A and B are shown apart, each in its own frame.
Chain A
Amino acid sequence: MALTIISLVKQVPLPSEMRMGEDGLMDRTKAKSIINIDCQFGLEAGLQLLKQHPDARLIVCSMGPGSFEAALRSAVAMGYDEAYLLSDRKLGGSDTYATGLAIATMLKHLGFTKDSKEPFIILAGRQTSDGDTAHVPSQVAEKIGIPQATFVESVKSDGTNNVVAKRIIEGGYQLMNLPMPCVISLTPTGIPPRKQSLSGAIKARNLQITTFGIDDIGLGTEKIGISGSPTIVAKVVNMVSERPPITLAEGHNEVALVDSLIANLAKGGNVLEKKEAVEKKEVDRPDFPNKDF
């Protein structure tokens, strides 16, 4: 009974690569894509489990446009064996609920159900840098109907069909013992993702990625896409910080740095004035908060 390790990944724009264009808007066209950082930790957690289960089968899955193949190939270059992509225009605009459903449906289609005879474990990133909801791993677990542990730093097999997950909680850790199959979502605090190997990159280059549409996995259109998503985006607000701009102390060594800091302090800033201005503004419109919500 070989274990199957399934990693879920999402491809996101590299945050540091996103630059403001000349027009003042975010220039996304030039932004490079990466595997979401948390998902990279999920991938590494899978490769760590492989040390305890050398005969395990490693699968990586994603949902998104065809360009997401790059992320899947990167995962294979790190050491994964097979890659599956769920890609369908009808999935566009899906929220986390619809996404969880779609991914769960694909996994069930691949034979990973709660009644599976073969043990499997699903690893995912805690959350993505472009959505930050941390919903999807839980949604997938719910839809398949298997246990879940979220915000996990490391996961180890206990030699039976259980895994021990070290979960981050406020003020410490919680050790959880979960039966497989289960879903684990990984925080970016565990073992950092490994680099690709050249042999892996060669394998990835020649790899045939299996791509499914929603018809292939028997998923209807009613619960996916914008219309199938219960989330409603009511309003998007551009948050403008009222905080005064930060003055950085600069210097190439400790002495220069401290001199710069002292000079800045001596020069003073508009810290208090700004704060007062904000407070005054709030008094000016006393009926603003909370009422409407």
Chain B
Amino acid sequence: MNNVDTVSTDVLIIGGGPSGLATAIHLADTFAKNGTAHRIMLIDKGSSIGSHILSGAVIKPEVFKELLPDVEFSEIPFNAKVVKDRTILLSEKSAITLPFHIPYMSNAGCYTASLGQICRYLAVKAQEKGVEIYPGFAVDEILYKDGKVIGAKTKDTGLDHHGNQLENFQAGTRIEARITVFAEGTRGSLTKMLIQKFDLAKGKNEQIYSLGCKELWSVPEGNIKPGEVYHTMGYPLDSDEFGGGFIYGLNDNRVALGIVVGLDYKDPSFDVHDAMQIWKTSKFVSRILKGGKLVEYGAKTLPEGGYYAVPKLFVDNALIVGDSAGLIAMPSLKGTHLAIKSGILAAKTVARALSRDDTSEESLKFYETLMQNSTIDAELFAVRNFRQAFTKGLIIGSLHFATQLITGGAGFFGRLKTHPDYLSTFTTKALKKKPFKERFKGKLDFDKVLTFDKSTDVYHSGVFHDEQQVVHIKFNDSSTYKTVNIDQYGAPEQFYCSSEVYELHTNKAGEKEIRVHAENCMHCKTCDIKAPGQAITWVIPNGGNGPDFQNM
């Protein structure tokens, strides 16, 4: 029973988000057009397609016409068309509407949506076209032969906390594929290994991330209209914290809202989830939520490094697409249309490679050529220095951005560099400003009506993890963890984690230790990004585990 099964396919797509599904759909269409029969397998770690998908979302719809040319646009489950689009400068009591749009942030012609719902729709379309979709399976190993990718292996299940086989052990399955497409989303755990193994980020900027916390609310009629879109700047963020809030009116009196904060913030005790709760208490936001109730909660990181942080996206037998590739356009934080576009381009590359029976790196370089001539490249290039400028704070960032607008994106300094987010965190001693809890003293008692503590929010994500498995949070060096992460940085995990996985506990001897509640994990991977000294590695848990987002 412990023999490892092997299955083989022509194309393996890891991840059922917009990029992976677009790859699958366009590939199936291309094969059908060429009259070739190839097997396309798509696997996803969520218990169902869409259950791990979270986005704002305001989506640029044009690319869907390219992906699904034969489908009536109205058939795609978008929510409301954007009817009102405002940027608000927020303070606790006041809200000033900016009289103009920040360049590249206009949402005219866009639609609000639940990206999870759209992915479920795309999955049905893909299956109709013959794509085999298997949700609920986690892959934790890339398969290599002679140093080249030949597929991936699903995780062994039926292990105890220490990794010993239990009686219900089920060996993972080896999936051998001619081409593997990595579409794991932000900070993909296999993509990270692939980038390291082949040094794909060589000569590129370090990828930097934001963490977005989102809630979905049901509010009384009249609080907000479908298609009303607000982005807020300012409160409760300081000028050296990059980010802002979003409020999107949806049909049926629902509203999607949240804040997105760059993980290059300095305060080790900064808490994005709690900052969002404080943000909700501002007059402007609380008025929209008045009388409503929380429906869902979720969190996700976004790769924001932009143009210069996109790694090399092809090696022998493998491609990287979507968020895993870092394809997000700033400052609008839109990535869905780029994810889909990259999927389409990857599909064209894969189809061409298979028809030539050449899946080598040389052949797959075609993907890069297509990218360079596509809208993705143009869109990312125009704002190539945007996010880096703001690592120095809002004021310097705005000055940079202004010069970039004049110079077509270049600015006066050419390519601006980035540092990985974990390096931006200050030790508690070195931090010059008030720590988060003092800054917002008196605002952190959550009333469970308008504001919620993390555990209540986590409950609203439907999260579930198998009890019997190896804990999926790995401390890379437990000896330095206490002296560095706890003693010097004050255990920032307990704050930056979006779902209360980490708890600082003082034992009877008075020693501080971190307790891990891995079952809360929202799979946002902030710990993998932000832990000082890269002390934590996020390992993929059993397939089907994690949040169960319905309309995120």
Q: In this assembly, does B168 line the interface, its C-beta being within 8 Å of a C-beta of chain A? A: yes
**A44-61 toward B: CB 8 Å interface, digit per residue (1/0)?**
100110110000000000
Is there an interface contact between B544 and A191, defined as CB atoms closer than 8 Å?
A: no
Q: Identify which of residues 63-96 in chain A touch chain B, using a CB-to-CB cut-off of 8 Å.
A: 78-79
Residues of chain B with a CB closer than 8 A to A201's CB: 134, 136-137
Q: How far is the CA of A193 from the CA of B7 in the complex (A)?
A: 23
Stretch at the interface among B171-179, B243-251, B300-308: B171-179
Residues of chain B with a CB closer than 8 A to A47's CB: 1, 168
A237 to chain B, nearest CB (A): 31
Residue of B nearest to A206 (CB): B132
B277 to chain A, nearest CB (A): 15
Q: How far is the CA of A79 from the CA of B173 in the complex (A)?
A: 13
Q: In this assembly, does A252 line the interface, its C-beta being within 8 Å of a C-beta of chain B? A: yes
Q: How far is the CA of A198 from the CA of B7 in the complex (A)?
A: 9
The listed residue (B154, B170, B468, B505) touching A253 by CB distance below 8 A is B505
Interface residues on B, range: 20 to 34
Q: How far is the CA of A243 from the CA of B157 in the complex (A)?
A: 43
Is there an interface contact between A195 and B134, defined as CB atoms closer than 8 Å?
A: no
Q: How far is the CA of A48 from the CA of B158 in the complex (A)?
A: 13
Is there an interface contact between A197 and B173, defined as CB atoms closer than 8 Å?
A: yes
Is there an interface contact between B134 and A191, defined as CB atoms closer than 8 Å?
A: no
Q: In this assembly, does B503 line the interface, its C-beta being within 8 Å of a C-beta of chain A? A: yes
A15 to chain B, nearest CB (A): 13
Q: In this assembly, does B43 line the interface, its C-beta being within 8 Å of a C-beta of chain A? A: yes
Residues of chain B with a CB closer than 8 A to A205's CB: 132, 134
B3 to chain A, nearest CB (A): 10
Central interface residue in A79, A199, A202, A252, by most chain B CB within 10 Å: A199
Q: In this assembly, does A196 line the interface, its C-beta being within 8 Å of a C-beta of chain B? A: yes
Q: How far is the CA of A205 from the CA of B41 in the complex (A)?
A: 12
Residue of A nearest to B456 (CB): A250
Is there an interface contact between B544 and A199, defined as CB atoms closer than 8 Å?
A: no
Q: In this assembly, does B543 line the interface, its C-beta being within 8 Å of a C-beta of chain A? A: yes
Is there an interface contact between B170 and A194, defined as CB atoms closer than 8 Å?
A: yes
Q: How far is the CA of A201 from the CA of B173 in the complex (A)?
A: 10
Is there an interface contact between A191 and B168, defined as CB atoms closer than 8 Å?
A: yes
Residues of chain A with a CB closer than 8 A to B7's CB: 198-199, 202
Residues of chain B with a CB closer than 8 A to A202's CB: 7, 132, 134
- With contacts A48-B167, A51-B1, A205-B132 taken as known, whether A198 is within 8 angstroms of B154 at the C-beta atoms is yes
Q: Which residues of B contact A (CB under 8 A)?
A: 1, 5-7, 43, 132, 134, 136-137, 154, 157-158, 166-173, 175, 453, 455, 466, 468, 503, 505, 542-544
For this complex, 23 residue pairs linking A to B, each with C-beta atoms less than 8 Å apart, are: A44-B168, A47-B1, A47-B168, A48-B167, A51-B1, A78-B170, A191-B167, A191-B168, A193-B168, A194-B170, A195-B157, A195-B158, A195-B542, A198-B5, A198-B7, A198-B154, A198-B173, A199-B5, A199-B6, A199-B173, A202-B7, A205-B134, A252-B503
Ranked nearest first, the 4 interchain pairs of A and B with the lowest CB-CB distance are A199-B5, A198-B173, A194-B168, A195-B157
Q: Which residues of A contact B (CB under 8 A)?
A: 44, 47-48, 50-51, 78-79, 191-199, 201-202, 205, 252-253
